[in-house]
């Protein structure tokens, strides 16, 4: 019986030259704790939240009085005294509490580097997490954790590659428990393939058409949230009528949480299938550097943009491309991809409401998204120093292959923008 033990040292903020030679990967599995284990997990989550809020308040008070914050060592030195004042903290794995202080210190480091917002106090909701840095063991669909008397059952749907370094146990709003295992391996990523014009594609993200490729393929947005709006409205209306603190209100809350979880799973499944097909078919993928956070400030489009999930999709696409030796190129967000004619290069004063336009110079009729995808590909190839051929023909074989792969994966909302679609 294979056994994996986590022997990760505490996190230190020291640059390690060997860090770049190793690859880290996380595996997420569903957990099925019994009643006693569930109570202890809830205690760990609540205690870590208490420690976070306590020391965040101390740091805020220290800064307001002296203008200085607190380091991790200062906070860790005060932790034993806090455990004496609150004896119930002794039931919790001490290293999980220390990890909470490290996470708080790391949140302040990211804030001062302008990579994140100021740390907030954690609220008592129906979700949370805690970390276990070491002294755990994984064996035969069970995981052994300090302070837990018996192993916790989990479903390992795939094998773990590499050495387990740490794990994080979390609870979702719907009441499910998951464990995320961080592993480290010395596997070397494949060398990226040579960037070639014929095997590259440009893509333009949109709301109606989720993704438009320079080959003329348009994948419509699945709109999972919009399809479930009526069901969500009904469930949330029932939730609002329940008495606070009652068991019926908790049941209604779980139904709403499960619906949101189902929508998220649908979106992730759609992103996985599309990104898998693209990384299998093309060796270079070009995209725009979208300011998604800025677009979300438009209250008329925020719901549709969030439903599409552009950020998570492109993150997933880049990760798969990196692991498969494919290339991703980002062009500048201010490049005139939509306004420039892909045939003659004329820059047109395009309005947001115009979905099609005719070039005043060459009189070519352009679809807004398709024209933008063609220009994104051209800008990316120029950025990579690869020559492009003007007047390239759309590769019908490639289009047919992509449409066939998407159909095989169950993505049926894909079409070719030309009148005569290729045979599959």
| Model confidence pLDDT, tens digit, residues 37-50 | 999 999 999 999 99
d(CA 219, CA 222): 9
**Residue 167 predicted with pLDDT over 50:** yes
Give the CA dihedral 291, 294, 300, 304, nearest 10 degrees: 40
Q: What is the pLDDT of residue 13?
A: 26
**Residue 3 predicted with pLDDT over 60:** no
At residue 260, what are phi and psi to the nearest 5 degrees?
-65, -40
Better pLDDT: 390 or 266: 266
Return the SS3 of 202. Answer: strand
21 pLDDT band (50/70/90 cuts)? low
Q: Give the residue-averaged pLDDT of 99-119.
A: 94
Give the other-Cβ count within 10 Å of 352's Cβ. Answer: 7
Better pLDDT: 12 or 77: 77
**Residue 305 predicted with pLDDT over 50:** yes
Q: What is the mean pLDDT of the chain?
A: 86
The strand pairing partners of 367, in sequence order, are: 356
Q: What is the pLDDT of residue 395?
A: 60
Q: What is the pLDDT of residue 161?
A: 85
What is the pTM for the complete model shown?
0.83
Better pLDDT: 70 or 419: 70
Give the other-Cβ count within 10 Å of 148's Cβ. Answer: 18
Better pLDDT: 418 or 295: 295
d(CA 229, CA 64): 45
At residue 342, what are phi and psi to the nearest 5 degrees?
-75, -10
**Residue 12 predicted with pLDDT over 60:** no
- Structure token digits, residue 65: 């009085």
Q: Give the residue-averaged pLDDT of 290-297.
A: 82
Q: What is the pLDDT of residue 31?
A: 96
């Amino acid at each position: 019986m294979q056994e994996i033990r986590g022997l990760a040292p505490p996190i230190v903020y020291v640059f390690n030259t060997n860090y770049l030679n190793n690859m880290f990967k996380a595996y997420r599995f569903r957990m099925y704790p019994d009643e006693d284990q569930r109570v202890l997990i809830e205690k760990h989550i609540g205690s870590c939240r208490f420690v976070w809020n306590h020391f965040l308040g101390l740091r805020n008070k220290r800064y307001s009085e002296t203008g200085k914050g607190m380091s991790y060592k200062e906070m860790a030195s005060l932790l034993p005294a806090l455990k004496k004042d609150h004896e119930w903290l002794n039931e919790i794995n001490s290293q999980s509490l220390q990890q909470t202080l490290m996470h708080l210190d790391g949140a302040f480091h990211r804030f001062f580097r302008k990579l994140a917002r100021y740390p907030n106090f954690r609220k008592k909701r129906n979700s949370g997490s805690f970390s276990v840095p070491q002294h755990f063991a994984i064996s035969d669909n069970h995981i052994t954790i300090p302070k837990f008397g018996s192993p916790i059952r989990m479903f390992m749907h795939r094998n773990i590659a590499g050495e387990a370094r740490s794990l994080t146990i979390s609870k979702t709003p719907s009441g499910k428990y998951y464990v995320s295992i961080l592993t480290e391996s010395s596997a070397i990523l494949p060398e990226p393939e040579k960037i070639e014009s014929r095997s590259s594609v440009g893509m333009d993200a949109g709301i109606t058409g989720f993704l438009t490729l320079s080959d003329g393929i348009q994948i419509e947005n699945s709109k999972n949230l919009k399809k479930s709006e009526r069901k969500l409205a009904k469930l949330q209306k029932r939730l609002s009528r329940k008495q606070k603190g009652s068991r019926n209100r908790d049941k209604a809350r779980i139904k709403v949480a499960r619906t949101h979880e189902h929508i998220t799973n649908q979106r992730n499944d759609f992103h996985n299938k599309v990104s898998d097909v693209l990384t299998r078919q093309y060796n270079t993928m070009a995209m725009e550097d979208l300011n998604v956070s800025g677009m979300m400030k438009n209250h008329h489009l925020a719901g549709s943009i969030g439903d599409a999930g552009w950020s998570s999709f492109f993150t997933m696409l880049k990760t798969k491309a990196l692991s498969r030796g494919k290339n991703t190129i980002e062009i500048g967000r201010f490049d005139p991809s939509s306004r420039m004619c892909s045939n003659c290069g004329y820059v047109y004063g395009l309005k947001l409401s115009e979905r099609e336009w005719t070039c005043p110079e060459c009189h070519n009729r352009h679809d807004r998204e398709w024209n933008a995808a063609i220009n994104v590909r051209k800008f990316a190839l120029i950025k990579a120093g690869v020559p492009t051929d003007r007047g390239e023909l759309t590769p019908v074989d490639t289009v047919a292959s992509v449409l066939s792969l998407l159909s095989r994966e169950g993505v049926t909302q894909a079409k070719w923008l030309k009148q005569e679609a290729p045979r599959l």
